Amino acid sequence: MNSIITAVLISFLISIIVGPFLIPALRRLKFGQSILEIGPQWHAKKSGTPTMGGIIFIIGVTVATIFLTRDYKVMILLLTSVAFGIIGLIDDFIKVVLKRNLGLTASQKFLAQTIVAVIFSVILYNMGFVNTEIYLPFIDGVIDLRWWIYIPFTVFVILGTVNSVNLTDGLDGLATSITIVVSIFFTMTAITFKDIHTAIFAAAITGGCMGFLLFNAHPAKVFMGDTGSLFLGGAISAIAVALKMPLFLIIVGGIYLIEALSVMIQVASFKLTGKRIFKMSPIHHHFELMGWKETRIVTVFVIATIVLSFIGFLGISNFLI
């Protein structure tokens, strides 16, 4: 248990040390976020806020993880997360340096993410760190998907989670705060399953996000950018896969899922009927246009994630009896 607490502290401390140095550097390099015109008008005042700040907690998580464990499985989880972060870094670089506000094209980003997800899934399976079984929530049992279903399913879960976290990162502190709760859930779950090495990695994510939140809470001094959101999405999904718990992401990561679904529903509705279901998507913007303050939205979404995490714990209770 001491190593878990140490992981949180190291990642947290490194993040709060790196932040004050990196944020001014990003500002000097003019790595400021350009705000899309399709967003709420009042978000325009955020234009110029340094982005790519996800580097802050990526450093914290990486150092804490390597310092406390050299477990091969965890190294695969970390490298996969960093690979997604690099995709995000390239995307952010194109946006802020090359001044192409949409960054990588959708096809380029999807292809890169798919390659990373496939490599991760195949390596984790071939090295024997996972088999083709996954836990079923609320049921004392597992389902064997067989490898020809398991690999595509895992890739689908990873891609869905990575892009859902990316969509959730639209308000000051939102994706950071929600991910703190989700990573705590997986830390406690890994401890319960006596997978201490994975618990260390999940705890490092908690600590890194806690440190980053000091700079990212409203009003944000820095945004995580795709660099951070893709890293976090990759890390959370990789942990879920390693623990044989991808189905639990539907519960614990419910806010991520709702954010993604709101975009898909909005697009489908507009294409089919010419009408919009929400005032704006992702759904956090819908609540903004209803008059909710950013801080209220973040608070409500975090509370919802805490409740969903307790439901997730109930879902694993049958495994412990």
Span 120-173, pLDDT tens digits: 999 999 999 999 999 999 887 899 999 899 999 999 999 999 999 999 999 999
What per-residue confidence (pLDDT) applies to 317? 72
Question: Quick check: helix, strand or coil at residue 182?
Answer: helix
Q: Can you tell me which residue has the tokens 């064997």?
A: 144
Mean pLDDT score of the chain:
92
Cis before 137 (ω within 30): no
Q: Which of 12-16, 116-120, 140-144, 263-267 comes out lowest in average pLDDT?
A: 140-144
Residues 268-278 have a mean pLDDT of 91
Neighbour count for residue 273 (Cβ, 10 Å): 9
Pair 241, 123: CB distance under 8 Å: no
What is the 3-state composition of the chain as percent helix, strand, coil, each rounded to the nearest 5? 75, 0, 25
Q: pLDDT tens digits, residue range 27-64?
A: 888 776 665 544 565 565 667 789 999 999 999 999 99
Is the separation of the CB atoms in 264 and 256 below 8 Å? no
Q: What is the pLDDT of residue 318?
A: 66
Q: What is the pLDDT of residues 173-185, one digit of tens each?
A: 999 999 999 999 9
pLDDT over 70, % of the chain: 93
- The pLDDT of residue 33 is 64
pLDDT-derived band at 97 (thresholds 50, 70, 90) equals confident
Q: What is the pTM of this model?
A: 0.95
User: Taking 70 as the threshold, does the pLDDT of residue 289 lie above it?
Assistant: yes
DSSP states of 217-229: SSSPS---HHHHH
As a whole-number percent, the residues of the chain with pLDDT over 90 amount to 81
Place of tokens 């390239």: 90
Residue range 281-305: mean pLDDT, rounded: 95
Predicted pLDDT of residue 37 = 45
Structure tokens at 200: 């260390």
pLDDT of residue 228: 98
| More confident call, 284 vs 140 | 284
CA angle 125, 168, 106 (to 5 degrees): 70
pLDDT at residue number 141: 82
Residue pair 173/50 in contact (Cβ under 8 Å)? The answer is no
Give the pLDDT confidence score for residue 111 in this predicted structure.
97
